[in-house]
Structure 1
Amino acid sequence: MVPTNVFSNKKSIGHQFSSADDIIKNTKAIKLSEAIKNRSISCVEVMNAYLNQISKKNPLVNAIVALEERDKLIEQAQQKDKDLSNGIYHGWMHGFPHAVKDLALTKGIVSSMGSPIFKDYIPKHDDIIVERIKNSGAILIGKTNVPEFGLGSNTYNKVYGTTGNAYNPKLVAGGSSGGASVALAMNMVPVADGSDMMGSLRNPAAYNNIIGFRPSFGRVPSGPTNEVFIQQLGYNGPMGRNVRDTAMLLSTMAGYDSRYPLSIDDDPLQFTNNLDVDVKGKKIAWLGDLNGYLPMEKGVLALCESNLKIFEGLGCHVESVIVDFNMEQLWETWLIERHWLITGIASKLYSDPKKREQLSSAMRWEIENGLKLTGVDTYKASINRTKWYSTLNSLFDEYDAVVLPSAQVFPFNKEIHYPTSIGSKKMDTYHRWMEVVIPGTLSGCPIVNIPAGFNSQGLPMGMQLIGKNKRDFEVLQLAHAYEEAMPKIIRHAFNIV
């Protein structure tokens, strides 16, 4: 429990906080939840603190969009306080202001997916994860910005514009969970939901020095949707300013739902358990740049490798490993599966000439390549994906986790849609510069972005910590151990805008 004087005496938190609002928005989500539950602080005070922060910070970065009216949100917070007075407690997110990633449907709130085609679309139902977040007591305040349909790792679209980085608004936020990551890093929400097909819970988390967790396939159900068997590339997952908060949100998002038959039937409350564990003796495989295959901006590998020493300090054994697999073939597998899936989802938009004109060049490129594929092409790609999973699974016979950088470049100018080269290596697609996330995506294994600190220009980077299939809790435990051992300059950055 949080002592009742935590929120009445700001000195008990730290001298760096000058107001009650500062205390609220800088308090860890789990502790804030406990303070609301024991009524040390009201839901109205929490809502006001976060809305004040949004008013102050969001104009700098454009992370939160479709923001609901303040009076309406305060009324909902007042109702949450009344519920507590009457002995009604909805869950650990009771009274939390929460902004949903704009790829998820939210009943009564515009869900544009960053597309002009859907700029006025107001769903009549919530996605499963939104249902769960609301049922846990959260108050939806709006959405977090995304690239159009989540394509690309730079969060910009024609509906809401571009989201800037939490450390430098002139730079990219990453994507597609860019708005969520920036809102979280800048204390505009206590926790955030995101989704990840091509690193969208990892790249923006790395670029904003937070935690992003891509769970095992099926851990968090998708939909409701009109197709529930094939879509096995993109997953929903939680984000937090620390691992414990991230795991707690996962406990809300995870769990079986009959509407999504491939969802995992495990008790999601496992993620509320204590994450403290002795990791001494754990073996970690460092894949680096995949034996020179991936081009990397200068400083990325060195920064990550310096932080691998944190694991060694915990008693882990870290070894550089070369994986015997054709990575260019894995990239081709990725292209085929992504083309195929996106074409299936969006071909109706493309077939309408008026709507096609409104689609981004990235979306048109995906669909046009998808239309060229045959059933044999997609089946062969799935076979190759299976071979990759088997290769990685064999690696887990010897190692407890695999580590890669979360990105190949540091945050860059947000007006540049994507890097056209890394060093002397030309990028042949709009997303080739993020190829480092493909091994994790195609494995379906749980992956967490952990902070790797900052380069000499003060730009953040992260590392992907990949674990065995369905061993999500163990991955979070290892990430938590790393987090607890990190130098404070990495754990708590003071140079956010």
Structure 2
Amino acid sequence: MDSDLCYASARELAGWLRAGELSAVEVVRAHLDRIERLNGKVNAIVTLLPEQALEAAAIADARLATGYQPGPLHGIPMAHKDTHDTAGIRTTYGSPLLAENVPERDELVIERLEAAGVITLGKTNVPEFAAGSHTVNPLFGATRNPYDLGKSAGGSSGGAAAALACGMQPLADGSDMGGSLRNPASFCNVVGFRPSPGRVPTWPDPLAWSTLAVQGPMARTVADAALLLSVLAGPDPRSPTAISEPGSLFAAPLDRELHGLRVAWAPDLGGAVPVEPAVRDVLDRAVRVFAGLGAVVHEDCPDLSGAEEVFRTLRAWQFAAGLSPLLAHRDRIKADLVWNIEQGLTLTGAELAEAEVLHTLLFHRVREFFERYDILLAPVSQVPPFDVDLDYPEQIAGEPMRTYLDWMRSAYLISATGCPALSVPGGFTTAWLPVGLQIIGPHRADRLVLEVGHTFEQATGFATVRPPIAAG
């Protein structure tokens, strides 16, 4: 019963809770029991609040009994990414510098989750200051992949992805600059959605006009990710880039026929990225599913010229603008973080201007590409989950990776386009390691991407394959 409850969909749980068929205390206790049993193996949740969660669940049950109109996520337990500020709850950013940091206020996504009825379980593990796509830090150590404990869970939302795969929470929040929602979802056989910039507004945000980093949902199914997005999305006057459409746009069922859908398949993003044969083999089979569903599939890719420069420049500028005070403690933060901040500090105004010009040209080329196609398919990650003791893969398909960013190109080149992008379970290698399929849509076509992902998910069933430790 514990396993059945912890692997129930968030939509099912929300319905049962609102109808009084389950109590929030029952649901929270089941997930806490599972965390106690499995978290020591994967190290996904790094701050746990069992007493506080059970007390909040009891209050939620009492309010429901009085005729209170519950929110859409009433009684749903969630642990939040450890880079999301939570009032009164330790938020470390995976750094010893903030080991005892307790924010005084919630950031906007946490406000919205609490208003929707979420019960907070604690915080999920991240790389230090969310830098990189492998979740390991000096404060809590590494998060391990539930499908192979010797492998990485990805990052930076790696703790969130591993917790979902283990049934320790039904939904998870995360963020994505270069793939931090998508890469861990790919590695852990769950769903991660990078929405269009502004779809999920952020506050407080010192770089509120920047569109490179976004926040978004993770779940075990596309339908659950859409449910969470329905709560996270929608305008807010504190965000200058917020999209005006309401989050309720994503609450409706996602059923869609794919017959006649115009699909482009870009196995190496037009030659821009090397891809391990094991990943290519899995995704070649996954793409054939679209043809079987009636879609018209062609191998093609938009011209991504300049996307590398755009991402690298704007990322470095953002790191310098937001994190340069950390250089006063350079001996206490990871070397990759120091390097990325220093890269930003050397940028000139001319280099930033050139990046913005390239960014605009890239947008228009991708816009024109989507006049010919409805959806673009690509690998999420160029490699299967790698050894947890590595900092990052040193080579891919024989090509050396010189920095901790290089191996993430298949995700971050898409970040530079501003397009909504979904990681959905795409199959498994012969070593039984998960591989995610990246589904990319036109500018602000978030719902289309989710509908296509949902249809693919229903046709394949890959999302229902549980990790070996789930039965242990």
TM-score, scaled relative to structure 2:
0.97
Computed over aligned residues only, the root mean square deviation of the Cα atoms, in angstroms, reads: 1.2
Instruction: Give the equivalent residue in structure 2 for 1:37.
Output: 18
Name the aligned partner's letter for residue 317 of structure 2.
W
Specify whether residues 322 and 29 from structure 1 end up closer, same or farther in structure 2 by C-alpha distance, changes over 3 A only: closer
Name the aligned partner's letter for residue 32 of structure 1.
L
- Asked whether the 8 Å contact 2:94–2:126 carries over to 1, the reply is yes
Displacement after TM superposition at 1:410 (Å): 0.6
Name the aligned partner's letter for residue 333 of structure 1.
V
Give distance in 2, aligned partners of 1:292 and 1:128.
39
| Mean CA deviation greater in 281-290 or 89-98 | 89-98
Instruction: Give the equivalent residue in structure 1 for 2:238.
Output: 259
Alignment of 1:55-454 (within 5 A): 55-68=36-49, 70-229=50-209, 231-326=210-305, 329-350=306-327, 352=328, 355-454=329-428
Displacement after TM superposition at 1:115 (Å): 1.1
Q: Deviations over 1:320-371 (max 9, x none)?
A: 0144443xx4323321111111100011222x2xx22212111100111111
Give distance in 2, aligned partners of 1:438 and 1:491.
24
- Asked whether the 8 Å contact 2:175–2:216 carries over to 1, the reply is yes
The total of aligned residue pairs comes to 469
- Asked whether the 8 Å contact 2:311–2:413 carries over to 1, the reply is no
Structure 2 counterpart SS, 1:66: strand
User: Is 1:466–2:452 an aligned residue pair?
Assistant: no
Give distance in 1, aligned partners of 2:415 and 2:111.
26
- Asked whether the 8 Å contact 1:90–1:135 carries over to 2, the reply is no
| Mean CA deviation greater in 190-199 or 333-342 | 333-342
- Asked whether the 8 Å contact 1:181–1:205 carries over to 2, the reply is yes
Displacement after TM superposition at 1:284 (Å): 0.7
Alignment of 1:473-488 (within 5 A): 473-486=447-460, 488=461
Q: Deviations over 1:364-410 (max 9, x none)?
A: 00111111110110110111121111111111000001111000111
Structure 2 counterpart SS, 1:170: strand
| Mean CA deviation greater in 438-447 or 121-130 | 438-447
Instruction: Give the equivalent residue in structure 2 for 1:14.
Output: none
- Asked whether the 8 Å contact 2:165–2:466 carries over to 1, the reply is no
Displacement after TM superposition at 1:226 (Å): 2.9
Specify whether residues 186 and 377 from structure 1 end up closer, same or farther in structure 2 by C-alpha distance, changes over 3 A only: same
Give distance in 1, aligned partners of 2:103 and 2:139.
17
User: Is 1:492–2:464 an aligned residue pair?
Assistant: yes
- Asked whether the 8 Å contact 1:409–1:422 carries over to 2, the reply is yes
Specify whether residues 325 and 412 from structure 1 end up closer, same or farther in structure 2 by C-alpha distance, changes over 3 A only: closer
- Asked whether the 8 Å contact 1:173–1:179 carries over to 2, the reply is yes
| Mean CA deviation greater in 21-30 or 130-139 | 21-30
Displacement after TM superposition at 1:496 (Å): 3.2
Instruction: Give the equivalent residue in structure 2 for 1:16.
Output: none
Give distance in 2, aligned partners of 1:153 and 1:176.
5
Alignment of 1:8-27 (within 5 A): 19=1, 21-27=2-8
Structure 1 counterpart SS, 2:88: coil
**Runs of 4+ residues deviating >4 angstroms:** none
Give distance in 2, aligned partners of 1:141 and 1:89.
23
- Asked whether the 8 Å contact 2:264–2:301 carries over to 1, the reply is no
Displacement after TM superposition at 1:72 (Å): 2.7
Give distance in 1, aligned partners of 2:103 and 2:70.
24
- Asked whether the 8 Å contact 1:186–1:496 carries over to 2, the reply is no
Give distance in 2, aligned partners of 1:263 and 1:378.
24
Specify whether residues 191 and 104 from structure 1 end up closer, same or farther in structure 2 by C-alpha distance, changes over 3 A only: same
Structure 2 counterpart SS, 1:453: strand
Q: Deviations over 1:451-477 (max 9, x none)?
A: 111010000001110001111111111
Name the aligned partner's letter for residue 120 of structure 1.
E
Give distance in 2, aligned partners of 1:430 and 1:339.
13
Unaligned runs of 5+ in 1: 1-18
Give distance in 2, aligned partners of 1:243 and 1:55.
27
Give distance in 1, aligned partners of 2:299 and 2:158.
31
Q: Percent identity?
A: 38
Structure 1 counterpart SS, 2:281: helix
